[in-house]
């Protein structure tokens, strides 16, 4: 058998590389290739990809890749160092490479690639073929092409249209498999139907006469992400292919089938058990208010040990610790542990046991990417949250997320479509986000200014909503020292340069509903500056927060994206030394946009400067068209934060 | 802030290894360690080494067998990675056995055998080497878990030396080194960063042991870990190992000289290229410069290190043909080319991190980089060059690093300055101190001509001229970026300190001409720079640039503070005031003078122009821990000066 496999590979390797669907010969160097000196619109770029090809034949089971790159700067020479990772399921069929000098002379790569072990385990071996092309200079064109093949599996593929280099011309070609496929975990159905979807703004692929799918594009700019941009997976244009059965006729059919399968699976798990009803009754005993009852059931479900937020374990560890996969909510209740989705299902069972109408909603995770109905991958809706009818209204709840308070759904699952499961396969619903007033960072500082301009005092911080939830989830991975350091580093980032924050106490790490409260001692050297008889004191103690960084540049390519809506509320009470009177107190500000607002009030009386500040960000996505207005808003915020209280030393003034 | 493991390889490793250790055969030595009373450590100590027991057996045929047992206790989540241990192997090094065990705080036990380990090749994107490592990743990596590993490694060293590293980033309770030697073999033990201890010796076995070794802590700008951590170097001698030991630097030089014999032989193509690049009609220094530039720019860095290839360069002719190579290849091809114009050059083997080799370091081969000492004939010396080393025997040697393509002939990269390297001559070798440049050669001079508008907007142009290592850092930061990205980087860099900052035009001069100063010029607008306060306008005259270094005042400092190199930074700012405003008050001048540094500044009024100037000179590469309080004061004074404001008042 081994010999037969070897022969098959040899056959594939020695076949002329031109006998498949597309030409795999070296392409001619065009006049344009020779003349190009810089990347259009991006001078100084290190290299430009003149041509890229990705040809794949799932019947013949091979893939062919071709890169032609022109080196434009010294830095660009790094593109001659090539590393081709090959999965264990693929056979590498060889690489050819060459360097074409500006004078047209060609230096072939005549060596053999080195085999680098990326990782080798007892069962698997991930290798990379590495090579470096010779005699590369600025102005050289380098090109290399390689092919790999496989015997058994056919997996869904994709075409990444945008590369790290500007690409002058690219050519994609895929011939789908004509025979029945094996099902893998990503596919709901079986069959050889091949569907594809286009994400991004470019000319879509077309079908060729022989049934292949083909795409030719020109002048694709290099991909560059931006700070506070939506997830990269939502920005990069791509064509995704999906193998499957009849469910691929349309996305509606796919998700309907998905919904039916997941509904059956979750209902089987939830079941209808006396033990659950008993547990529900015990949880709400004596309570008559519906909302309070539901809250008690929610709290009961959340007492379950949540394995999804613990360290990843090996099977062996699970076995030693006697952690078994739960088969139903009875197991979850009896064993006292479960995954995110187990706990969501337990809550549904408890709620139903107490007479509530509760359903599972399969939710997306926009930390990775936003839900795309045409992206036919079931894993998009992997998490389960719950919708409960309460006093005639739908209430979305997230019991499977550790520390998620009643009434809140973790931000990663909100502002996006999820699927509410029912017998017919489910319906899409938008999972509502929490408004900014639900996620608040409140900072109250009581500080005293020393004669040398340094500042000392206390800072009380209260975090609630999504902010508190994320802090608590982070803290699960940390010990006491790590939590303290994390909090101190965060507070240090708020304070002016050189500021020190020392955690005095923290309340609420283990709480779900209560805000997280942190008490710090703070110090800022040289907070105020002396200018002759005057003392100049910054009106804001806290630096304009990170949102400002998203608005640093005049122009932006992608939307600005904040994970969740939130408010910052600050109150600073600053005691100044004796002998000063206010010469100028910064004026109050109130700057508004539809989804943002910034309000300040400042006063000085009886040696006390009181500065209040509120920043409201009540949105998560700010489109490019809104950017200029928003940039101006945040410039004003920064300007207001940098204003100064001017005090005069009365003794010096009188003396003068 | 939750960490999520997304790396597919990591997932594969995690799910595919360690599936067969059902009945853990934890050895007694580890079980005993797990049961011993726990000591108390700082709350940020991630783990503790309970025992590191390294046993080295030298065989008469020159083989060295290392048997090591090492046990850690995980004290914090950050210490979980100690449940992973790696052992290297290559064509000359074999792993005879490798196992690991863990005992959790709950008493659960796990075992992993060599077959459960995973392997991977070392080396990054710019290199290929044949060295691999086997890694065991133990289950049960929680706080309180004790993990232990035991392995045996057999190697045939190129040089007869062994190392005992007994100090770590975590505390070490006990570390032991045992040396078994055959008769006719001798050793020398050299201690670094720790007081010497005598071994217990019996029947050809020597045993050293240290206990309760404190951890090396992380501090801002501290010397490299390896320059601080205690360790012992054992040099082995035998008649059977002549020319493969390093009793002296000279021996090491002889060994390397023999190893590299013949690699600098030229090919006709190389000779022709030298004639083309460096014709005899040019002055000698220009000929040398042409060849150094070729080695820097036209020989791309790519390392292929197989077997002895970690030490021995490829032949110059081969490197020249391929136009790629690693540091020693670049030095080799340059040396071969220089020879064609009658200039002799010598290898200098160094460590690319300062402090690891000092004048007290015993002869050893743990270098990681190679540069070149170019013997300068008198005719070739037309100027005083900072990288010049005067050797009593070899005369004027210009030390040059062809691997760094941003440092010109005549200068040394900052990380090699004030370090020590092995100069390999034809007859042997010597450890030399690599020269340090003066502050005047490493300058940033910033001149700002600005205009303040009545609404607080600041507009104008800043010219920044960088020389020496500061030019190199500037080039590293900006050279490989596109024009658009450079602008964004500068906006990102300055923006947080200048309200409404926007670069209007931007220009970089001499970015590729490394012999010249790097000049950065930009025009900008900061729309919310000065702050209005009633009739007053408050202006920070410093405008840009923060010079105080990072310093943690909340903890006592243990180690010296490192600077890249001596430097001189100066700013001159002229702000034309808006019409109708005059300077009402100015900040006090600053003057901070210490033995190692000086900072001065002053603000003054000149007509309707507010002038601010400052100068910061650092004389040294390292401020010792005894002077740390002075350094803290210096940084505090700089910080205060940088925040100071001038008050402008609207005239009636």
Q: How far is A120 from chain B (nearest CA, A)?
A: 5
The CB density around residue A5, as the number of other CB atoms within 10 Å, is 11
Q: Do B166 and B274 fall within a single domain?
A: no
Chain mean pLDDT for chain A = 91
Higher-confidence residue of A270 and B553: namely A270
Q: Do B428 and B575 fall within a single domain?
A: no
Residues of B whose CB is below 8 A from A635: 499-500, 527-528
Torsion of CA B547, B549, B551, B557, to 10 degrees: -130
Q: Do B29 and B176 fall within a single domain?
A: yes
Residue A217 has pLDDT above 60, yes or no: yes
Q: How far is B201 from chain A (nearest CA, A)?
A: 42
Higher-confidence residue of A290 and A531: namely A290
Interchain pair B77, A482: CB under 8 A: yes
Hey, what are A511's tokens?
A: 């709480």
In degrees, to the nearest 5, what angle opens at C-alpha A134 toward C-alphas A133 and A135?
135
Cα B361 → chain centroid: 18
The CB density around residue B265, as the number of other CB atoms within 10 Å, is 12
Span A441-469, average pLDDT: 96
Share of chain A above pLDDT 90, in %: 78
Give the dihedral sign, CA B253/B254/B259/B261: positive
Bridge-based pairing state of the strands A125-132 and A114-120: antiparallel
Residue B16 has pLDDT above 60, yes or no: no
Task: Quote the pLDDT of residue A9.
Answer: 43
Residues of A whose CB is below 8 A from B534: 583-584, 646
Q: How far is A595 from chain B (nearest CA, A)?
A: 21
Q: Which residue of A has its CA nearest to B478?
A: A44
Report how far residue A243's alpha carbon sits from residue A155's, in angstroms, rounded to the nearest whole number: 8
Q: Which residue of B has its CA nearest to A74?
A: B297
* pLDDT tens, residue by residue, A91-125: 999 999 999 999 999 999 998 999 999 999 988 89
Report how far residue B73's alpha carbon sits from residue B148's, in angstroms, rounded to the nearest whole number: 9
Q: Is A83 on the interface with B (CB under 8 A)?
A: yes
> Which residues have CB under 8 Å from A57's CB, separation 6+?
A20, A21, A63, A174, A175
Return residues 426-485 of A near B (CB < 8 Å). Answer: 453, 470-471, 473-474, 476-482, 485
Chain mean pLDDT for chain B = 92
Q: Do B205 and B282 fall within a single domain?
A: no
* pLDDT tens, residue by residue, B430-443: 999 999 999 999 99
Bridge-based pairing state of the strands B47-58 and B172-180: parallel
Q: Which residue of B has its CA nearest to A454?
A: B640
Nearest to B159 by CA among B308, B53, B59, B304: B308
A123 three-state secondary structure: coil
Residue A548 has pLDDT above 80, yes or no: no
Task: Provide the ipTM.
Answer: 0.90
B324 three-state secondary structure: strand
Residues of A whose CB is below 8 A from B492: 549, 552-553
Residues of B whose CB is below 8 A from A83: 125
Interchain pair A486, B500: CB under 8 A: no
Q: What is the CATH number of the domain that holds B14?
A: 2.60.40.3140
Residue with tokens 């070296």: A26
Q: Do B347 and B462 fall within a single domain?
A: no
Q: How far is A440 from chain B (nearest CA, A)?
A: 17
Cα B377 → chain centroid: 32
Return residues 568-607 of A near B (CB < 8 Å). Answer: 583-584, 586
Interchain pair A531, B405: CB under 8 A: no
Report how far residue A319's alpha carbon sits from residue A313's, in angstroms, rounded to the nearest whole number: 10
* pLDDT tens, residue by residue, B133-178: 999 999 999 999 999 999 999 998 888 999 999 999 999 999 999 9
Task: Quote the pLDDT of residue A15.
Answer: 44
In degrees, to the nearest 5, what angle opens at C-alpha A621 toward C-alphas A617 and A627?
85
Q: How far is A349 from chain B (nearest CA, A)?
A: 29
Cβ atoms of B76 and B198 closer than 8 Å: no
Interchain pair A135, B121: CB under 8 A: no
Report how far residue A469's alpha carbon sits from residue A385's, in angstroms, rounded to the nearest whole number: 16
Interchain pair A44, B502: CB under 8 A: no
Residue A5 has pLDDT above 70, yes or no: no
Higher-confidence residue of B24 and B568: namely B568
Q: Do B623 and B503 fall within a single domain?
A: yes
Residue with tokens 């797990």: B34
Report how far residue A497's alpha carbon sits from residue B243's, in angstroms, rounded to the nearest whole number: 57
Query: Among partner residues B12, B43, B482, which is closest to A121 by beta-carbon distance?
Result: B12
Query: Among partner residues B2, B535, B647, which is closest to A534 by beta-carbon distance?
Result: B647
Q: How many domains does chain B have?
A: 3
Residues of B whose CB is below 8 A from A314: 14-15, 18-19, 139
Q: Is A179 on the interface with B (CB under 8 A)?
A: no
User: What pLDDT band is residue B309 in, cutting at 50, 70 and 90?
Assistant: confident
Residue A18 has pLDDT above 70, yes or no: no
Residue with tokens 């002869």: B363
A352 CB-contact burial (10 Å; exposed 0-12 / middle 13-18 / buried 19+): buried
User: What pLDDT band is residue A438 in, cutting at 50, 70 and 90?
Assistant: very high
Residue with tokens 């440092």: B407
Cβ atoms of A317 and B139 closer than 8 Å: yes
Task: Quote the pLDDT of residue A544.
Answer: 72
Hey, what are A112's tokens?
A: 């053999």
Report how far residue B100's alpha carbon sits from residue A87's, in angstroms, rounded to the nearest whole number: 28
Q: Do B265 and B151 fall within a single domain?
A: no
Task: Quote the pLDDT of residue A652.
Answer: 60
Residue A13 has pLDDT above 50, yes or no: no
Q: Is A288 on the interface with B (CB under 8 A)?
A: no
Interchain pair A121, B531: CB under 8 A: no
Q: What is the CATH number of the domain that holds B578?
A: 2.60.120.1130
* pLDDT tens, residue by residue, A346-382: 999 999 999 999 999 999 999 999 999 988 889 999 9
Residues of A whose CB is below 8 A from B601: none
User: What pLDDT band is residue A553 in, cutting at 50, 70 and 90?
Assistant: confident
Domain that holds residue B311: 252-433
Question: B244, B267, B293 — which closes off a domain?
Answer: B244
Report how far residue A519's alpha carbon sits from residue A505's, in angstroms, rounded to the nearest whole number: 5
Residue with tokens 């949105």: A619
* pLDDT tens, residue by residue, B331-356: 999 999 999 999 999 999 999 999 99
A258-272, A544-558, A598-612: segment of lowest average pLDDT: A544-558
Residue A153 has pLDDT above 70, yes or no: no
* pLDDT tens, residue by residue, A500-515: 999 999 999 999 999 9
Interchain pair A46, B500: CB under 8 A: no
Q: How far is A42 from chain B (nearest CA, A)?
A: 6
Residue A189 has pLDDT above 70, yes or no: no
Task: Quote the pLDDT of residue B203.
Answer: 87
Task: Quote the pLDDT of residue A642.
Answer: 87
A390 three-state secondary structure: strand
Cα A511 → chain centroid: 26
Domains of chain A: 14-246 (2.60.40.3140), 251-432 (3.10.620.30), 437-655 (2.60.120.1130)
Q: Do B383 and B447 fall within a single domain?
A: no
Q: Do B258 and B221 fall within a single domain?
A: no
* pLDDT tens, residue by residue, B248-287: 999 999 999 999 999 999 999 999 999 999 999 999 999 9
Cα A278 → chain centroid: 41
Nearest to B521 by CA among B445, B613, B611, B443: B445
Q: Which residue of A has its CA nearest to B320?
A: A135
Task: Quote the pLDDT of residue A11.
Answer: 40
* pLDDT tens, residue by residue, B48-59: 999 999 999 999
Cβ atoms of A169 and A50 closer than 8 Å: yes
Inter-axis angle of helices B268-277 and B284-293, nearest 10: 120
* pLDDT tens, residue by residue, A554-566: 889 999 999 999 9
A75 three-state secondary structure: helix
Query: Among partner residues B9, B456, B644, which is closest to A118 by beta-carbon distance?
Result: B9
Residue B1 has pLDDT above 50, yes or no: no
Q: Is A105 on the interface with B (CB under 8 A)?
A: no
Share of chain A above pLDDT 70, in %: 93
- To probe the interface with B, which of A79, A485, A531 has the most B CB atoms within 10 Å? A531
Q: Residues in chain A, how many? A: 656
Number of A/B CB contacts below 8 angstroms equals 230
Interchain pair B77, A77: CB under 8 A: no
Cβ atoms of A362 and A418 closer than 8 Å: yes
* pLDDT tens, residue by residue, B184-212: 899 999 999 999 999 999 888 999 999 99
Higher-confidence residue of B387 and B91: namely B387
Q: Do B201 and B343 fall within a single domain?
A: no
The CB density around residue B94, as the number of other CB atoms within 10 Å, is 14
Give me the residues paired with residue A92 across strands: A148
Question: B415, B433, B451 — which closes off a domain?
Answer: B433
Higher-confidence residue of B128 and A489: namely A489
Burial B371-399 (b: 16+ CB within 10 A, else e): bbbbbbeeebeeeebbbbbeeeebebbbb
Question: B403, B433, B463 — which closes off a domain?
Answer: B433
Q: Do B32 and B119 fall within a single domain?
A: yes
User: What pLDDT band is residue A653 in, cutting at 50, 70 and 90?
Assistant: low
Task: Quote the pLDDT of residue A17.
Answer: 43
Task: Quote the pLDDT of residue B275.
Answer: 97
* pLDDT tens, residue by residue, A320-331: 999 999 999 999
Give the dihedral sign, CA A482/A483/A486/A487: negative
- Residue B219 dihedral angles phi and psi, to the nearest 5°: -140, 155
The strand ranges marked E within A468-576 are 500-507, 516-524, 529-531, 534-538, 560-561, 566-575
Q: What is the CATH number of the domain that holds B407?
A: 3.10.620.30
Report how far residue A101's alpha carbon sits from residue B569's, in angstroms, rounded to the nearest whole number: 43
Cα B160 → chain centroid: 26
A248 three-state secondary structure: helix
Task: Quote the pLDDT of residue A456.
Answer: 97
Question: Residue B447: which H helix or E strand, with range?
Answer: strand B443-452
Q: Do B192 and B319 fall within a single domain?
A: no
């Amino acid at each position: 058998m081994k010999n037969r496999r070897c022969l098959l590979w040899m056959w594939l390797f020695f076949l002329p590389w031109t006998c498949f669907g597309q030409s795999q010969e070296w392409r001619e160097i065009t006049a344009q290739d020779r003349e190009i000196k810089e990347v259009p619109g991006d001078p100084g770029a290190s290299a430009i990809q003149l041509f890229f090809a990705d040809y794949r034949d799932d019947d013949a089971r091979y893939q062919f890749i071709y890169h032609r790159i022109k080196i434009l700067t010294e830095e660009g020479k790094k593109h001659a160092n090539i590393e081709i990772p090959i999965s264990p399921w693929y056979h590498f069929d060889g690489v050819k490479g060459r360097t074409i000098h500006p004078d047209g002379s060609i230096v072939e790569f005549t060596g053999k690639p080195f085999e680098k072990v990326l990782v080798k385990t007892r069962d698997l071996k991930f290798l990379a073929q590495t090579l470096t092309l010779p005699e590369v200079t600025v102005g050289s064109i380098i090109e290399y092409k390689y092919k790999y093949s496989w015997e058994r599996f056919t997996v869904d593929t994709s075409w990444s249209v945008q590369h790290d280099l500007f690409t002058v011309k690219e050519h994609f070609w895929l011939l789908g498999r004509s025979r029945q496929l094996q099902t893998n975990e990503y596919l709901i159905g079986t069959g050889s139907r091949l569907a594809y979807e286009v994400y991004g703004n470019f000319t879509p692929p077309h079908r060729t006469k022989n049934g292949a799918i083909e795409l030719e594009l020109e002048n694709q700019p290099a991909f560059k992400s931006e700070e506070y941009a939506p997830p990269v997976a939502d920005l990069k244009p791509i064509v995704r292919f999906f193998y499957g059965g009849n469910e691929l006729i349309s996305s509606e059919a796919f998700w309907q089938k998905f919904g039916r399968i997941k509904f059956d699976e979750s209902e089987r798990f939830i079941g209808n058990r006396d033990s659950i009803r008993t547990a529900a009754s015990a949880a709400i005993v004596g309570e008559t208010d519906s909302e309070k009852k539901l809250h008690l059931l929610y709290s009961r479900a959340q007492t379950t040990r949540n394995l999804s937020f613990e360290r990843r374990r090996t099977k062996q560890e699970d076995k030693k610790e006697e952690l078994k996969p739960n088969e139903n909510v009875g197991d979850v209740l009896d064993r006292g542990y479960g995954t995110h989705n187990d706990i969501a299902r337990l809550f549904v069972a408890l709620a139903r046991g107490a007479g509530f109408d509760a359903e599972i909603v399969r939710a997306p995770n926009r930390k990775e990417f936003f839900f795309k109905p045409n992206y036919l991958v079931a894993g998009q809706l992997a998490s389960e949250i719950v919708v409960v009818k309460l006093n005639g209204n739908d209430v979305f709840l997230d019991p499977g997320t550790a520390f998620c308070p009643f009434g809140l759904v973790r931000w990663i699952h909100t502002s996006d479509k999820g699927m509410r499961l029912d017998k017919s396969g489910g319906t899409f619903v938008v999972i509502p986000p929490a408004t900014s007033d639900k996620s608040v960072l409140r900072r109250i500082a009581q500080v005293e200014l020393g004669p040398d301009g340094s500042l000392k005092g206390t800072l009380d911080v209260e975090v609630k909503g999504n902010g508190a939830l994320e802090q608590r989830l982070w803290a699960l991975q940390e010990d006491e020292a790590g939590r303290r350091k994390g909090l101190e580093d965060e507070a240090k980032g708020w304070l002016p340069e050189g500021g020190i924050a020392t955690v005095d106490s923290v309340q609420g790490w283990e709480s779900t509903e209560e805000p997280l409260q942190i008490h710090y001692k703070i110090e800022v050297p040289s907070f105020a500056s002396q200018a002759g008889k005057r003392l100049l004191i910054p009106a804001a103690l806290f630096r304009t927060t990170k949102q400002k960084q998203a608005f640093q540049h005049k122009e932006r390519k992608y939307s600005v994206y904040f994970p969740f809506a939130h408010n910052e509320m600050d109150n600073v009470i600053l005691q100044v030394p004796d002998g000063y009177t206010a010469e100028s107190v910064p004026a109050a500000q109130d700057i508004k946009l539809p989804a943002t607002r910034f309000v300040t009030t400042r006063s000085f009386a009886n040696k006390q400067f009181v500065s209040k500040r509120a920043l409201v960000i009540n949105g998560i996505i700010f489109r490019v068209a809104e950017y200029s207005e928003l940039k101006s808003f945040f410039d004003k915020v920064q300007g207001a934060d940098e204003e100064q209280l001017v005090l005069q030393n009365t003794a010096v003034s009188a003396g003068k | 802030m939750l960490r999520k493991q997304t790396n597919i390889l990591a997932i594969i490793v995690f799910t595919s290894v360690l599936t067969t250790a059902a009945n853990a055969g934890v050895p007694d030595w580890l079980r005993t360690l797990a049961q011993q009373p726990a000591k108390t450590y700082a709350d940020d100590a991630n783990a503790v080494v309970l025992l590191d027991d390294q046993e080295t057996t030298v065989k008469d045929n020159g083989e060295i067998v290392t048997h090591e047992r090492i046990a850690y206790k995980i004290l914090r989540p950050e210490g979980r990675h100690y449940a992973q241990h790696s052992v290297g192997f290559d064509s000359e090094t074999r792993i005879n056995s490798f196992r690991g065990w863990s005992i959790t705080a709950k008493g659960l036990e796990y075992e992993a055998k060599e077959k459960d380990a995973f392997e991977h090749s070392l080396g990054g994107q710019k290199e290929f080497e044949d060295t691999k490592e086997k890694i065991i990743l133990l289950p049960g990596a929680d706080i309180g878990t004790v993990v232990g590993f035991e392995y045996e490694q057999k190697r045939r060293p190129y040089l007869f030396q062994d190392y005992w590293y007994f100090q770590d980033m975590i505390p070490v309770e006990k570390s032991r080194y045992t040396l078994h030697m055959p008769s006719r073999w001798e050793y020398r033990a050299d201690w670094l960063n720790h007081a010497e201890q005598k071994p217990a010796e019996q029947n050809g076995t020597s045993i050293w042991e240290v206990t309760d070794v404190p951890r090396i802590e992380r501090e801002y700008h501290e010397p490299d870990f390896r320059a601080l951590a205690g360790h012992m170097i054992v040099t082995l001698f035998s008649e059977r190992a002549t020319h493969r030991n390093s009793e002296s630097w000279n021996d090491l030089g002889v060994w390397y000289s023999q190893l590299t014999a013949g690699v600098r032989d030229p090919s006709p193509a190389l000779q022709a290229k030298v004639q083309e690049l460096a014709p005899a009609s040019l002055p000698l220094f220009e000929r040398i410069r042409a060849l150094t530039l070729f080695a820097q720019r036209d020989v791309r860095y790519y390392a292929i290190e197989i077997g002895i290839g970690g030490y021995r360069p490829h032949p110059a002719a081969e490197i020249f043909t391929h136009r790629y190579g690693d540091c020693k290849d670049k030095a080799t091809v340059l040396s071969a080319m220089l020879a064609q114009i009658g200039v002799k050059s010598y290898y200098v083997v160094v460590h690319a991190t300062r402090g690891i080799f000092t004048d007290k370091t015993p002869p050893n081969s743990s270098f990681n980089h190679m540069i070149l000492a170019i013997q300068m004939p008198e005719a070739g010396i037309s100027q005083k060059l900072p990288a010049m080393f005067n050797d009593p025997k070899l005369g004027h040697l210009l030390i040059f690093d062809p691997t760094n393509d941003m440092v010109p002939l005549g200068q040394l990269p900052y990380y090699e300055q004030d370090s020590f390297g092995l100069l390999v001559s034809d007859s042997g070798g010597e450890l030399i101190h690599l020269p340090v440049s003066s502050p005047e050669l490493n300058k940033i001079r910033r001149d700002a001509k600005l205009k303040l508008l009545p609404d607080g907007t600041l507009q104008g142009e800043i010219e920044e001229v960088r020389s020496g290592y500061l030019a190199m850092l500037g080039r590293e930061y900006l050279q490989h970026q596109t024009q658009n990205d450079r602008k964004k980087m500068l906006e990102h860099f300055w923006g947080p300190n200048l309200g409404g900052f926007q670069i209007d035009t931007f220009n970089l001069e001499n970015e590729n001409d490394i012999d010249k100063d790097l000049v950065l010029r930009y025009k900008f607008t900061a729309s919310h720079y000065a702050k209005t306060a009633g009739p007053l306008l408050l202006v920070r005259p410093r405008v840009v640039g923060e010079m105080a270094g990072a310093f943690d005042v909340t903890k006592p400092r243990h180690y010296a503070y490192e600077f890249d190199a001596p430097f001189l930074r100066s700013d001159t700012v002229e702000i034309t005031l808006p019409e109708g405003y005059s300077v009402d008050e100015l900040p006090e001048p600053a003057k901070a003078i210490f033995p190692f540094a000086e900072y001065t500044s002053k603000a003054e009024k000149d007509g309707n122009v507010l002038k601010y100037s400052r100068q910061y000179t650092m004389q040294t590469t390292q401020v010792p821990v005894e002077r740390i309080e002075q350094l803290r004061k210096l940084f505090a004074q700089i910080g205060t000066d940088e925040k100071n404001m001038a008050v402008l008042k609207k005239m009636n």
